[in-house]
Chain A
């Protein structure tokens, strides 16, 4: 066991005394993935030998802009659970200042799979795939149904104009990509009727969804949840990057109609197809700008990761997708 592990273990024992009791910690393993968070898996064993399977998430060291978000996310998870959104149960969470020096959350560990390519292809998830889209539609409807007043004190920002916010980020990067500007011009001129603002997850897609044999078990990664247009969550799920090579337009598995029907069934709101497609095009632009930003982290020396470096080259994929999506739409107007 390294020093970090010892450090973590002793603080975990202390933090879990109140919710679980006296425990020892076994099988503490750092999991890969997550750019903004550090994730560990471990078991808590009590005096009678009962084991509780747990997950620890910590804000990453040195990322000031994220201080406190684990604790903030925990408050959101508890609220989501009350409103029947499938999420991991929070055992404890802590704000800074605390002895660890970082905000953290411990949740129950749910068995299942998050890796998109496995979910899309492995035989073992065949049943989960057949209900995945309707599960997602219900979960989205449940998130969007949480009344805003229930979320007072959750420190959520309100985005009134997602396109304007995204354009601001893109402009600030000072790395012009004319295809993005063409897309922005089109998106500005063809805005759909906005839906009533509500809590949106912000990153609801394959990779952030944990499935079991019976379907969707938990919606993960709530760190960018905010108030906005609910159709944004649906459109994001359809972006080609989140199809991971699958043939279906939605999460590589289903059709637009499947998603819209399922969402209407639970929420009572029918989102028009053209609205969904506008948000998919917006989402494609958003992923393109994120690729540009991530590649920029490498260019600026903030990371030496080859993976992040090559994401910079994925900008072209989004330009291609934007141009494909805009092709007929632009020719219609001409």
Chain B
């Protein structure tokens, strides 16, 4: 490649973001391994191995989404407990069981739903959108 060609191309690398490390990031590396498992290995292996690799790929998917979402979700989690004047999940669990929230069940239900939705987006994003499959 000559210097002339460089001038006509956008040489700027994708931003690395606020990180002390080089790229690719943990998220990008996991995504690459995930792709390797689901596409490159796919044709070369048995049904049983495919099943096992699908489980491995799912695990990587969770890790990858967690890395992307954890900063925001950690904040939401802290705000959730703060709004309810609770120091920990343990304290909230005990209070719920003792009936301390019985008069505010609607509110706590709404807040828990928002929080669980965040967990599900990381753990299994396709789960909550299959509406025909909704529970009782």
| A-to-B contact residues, CB < 8 Å | 32, 176-182, 184-185, 238, 240, 243, 245-247, 249, 277, 280-281, 284, 306-307, 309-310, 313-317, 319-321, 323-327, 330-331, 333-334
In chain B, positions 86-108 with a C-beta closer than 8 Å to chain A are: 88-90, 92-94, 96-97, 99, 101-102, 105-106, 108
Q: Are A325's CB and B136's CB within 8 A?
A: yes
Is B124 at the interface (CB under 8 A from chain A)?
A: yes
Task: Say which residue of A185, A317, A324, A334 sits within 8 Å of B123 (CB atoms).
Answer: A317
Q: A182-B112, A317-B120 are in contact. List 14 more A-B contacts (CB 8 A).
A: A32-B48, A176-B93, A182-B108, A185-B97, A185-B102, A249-B136, A307-B52, A316-B119, A316-B122, A317-B124, A323-B113, A323-B116, A331-B109, A334-B106
The smallest C-beta distance from B92 to any residue of chain A, in angstroms, reads: 5
Task: Say which residue of A181, A309, A324 sits within 8 Å of B96 (CB atoms).
Answer: A181
Most buried by A among B56, B108, B135: B135
Q: Return chain A residues, CB-CB under 8 Å to B62.
A: 310, 313
Asked if A316 meets B116 with Cβ closer than 8 Å, knowing A184-B97, A323-B109, the reply is yes
Q: Are B124's CB and A316's CB within 8 A?
A: yes
Q: Are A178's CB and B112's CB within 8 A?
A: yes
Task: Say which residue of A177, A314, A327 sits within 8 Å of B93 (CB atoms).
Answer: A177
In chain B, positions 112-136 with a C-beta closer than 8 Å to chain A are: 112-113, 116-117, 119-120, 122-124, 127-128, 130, 132-136
**CA of A177 to CA of B101, assembled, Å:** 15
23 contacts between A and B (CB under 8 A): A176-B93, A176-B94, A177-B93, A178-B92, A181-B94, A182-B101, A182-B112, A245-B133, A306-B59, A307-B52, A310-B55, A310-B59, A313-B62, A316-B116, A316-B119, A319-B112, A320-B120, A320-B127, A323-B112, A323-B116, A324-B135, A325-B135, A331-B109
**CA of A178 to CA of B89, assembled, Å:** 6
Q: Return chain A residues, CB-CB under 8 Å to B135.
A: 240, 280, 284, 321, 324-325
Q: Are B109's CB and A327's CB within 8 A?
A: yes
Asked if A185 meets B96 with Cβ closer than 8 Å, knowing A178-B89, A317-B124, A317-B127, the reply is yes
**CA of A284 to CA of B119, assembled, Å:** 17
Q: Please provide the 9 A-B residue pairs with the shortest distance between their CB atoms, ordered closest to farther.
A: A176-B93, A316-B119, A181-B96, A321-B135, A313-B123, A181-B93, A334-B106, A319-B116, A316-B123
**CA of A238 to CA of B99, assembled, Å:** 28
Q: Are B109's CB and A333's CB within 8 A?
A: no
Q: Return chain A residues, CB-CB under 8 Å to B89.
A: 176-178
Is B58 at the interface (CB under 8 A from chain A)?
A: yes
**CA of A184 to CA of B135, assembled, Å:** 17
Asked if A178 meets B96 with Cβ closer than 8 Å, knowing A319-B116, A323-B109, the reply is yes
The smallest C-beta distance from A272 to any residue of chain B, in angstroms, reads: 14
Q: Are A247's CB and B97's CB within 8 A?
A: no
The smallest C-beta distance from A329 to any residue of chain B, in angstroms, reads: 10
Q: Are A320's CB and B116's CB within 8 A?
A: yes
Q: Are A247's CB and B132's CB within 8 A?
A: yes
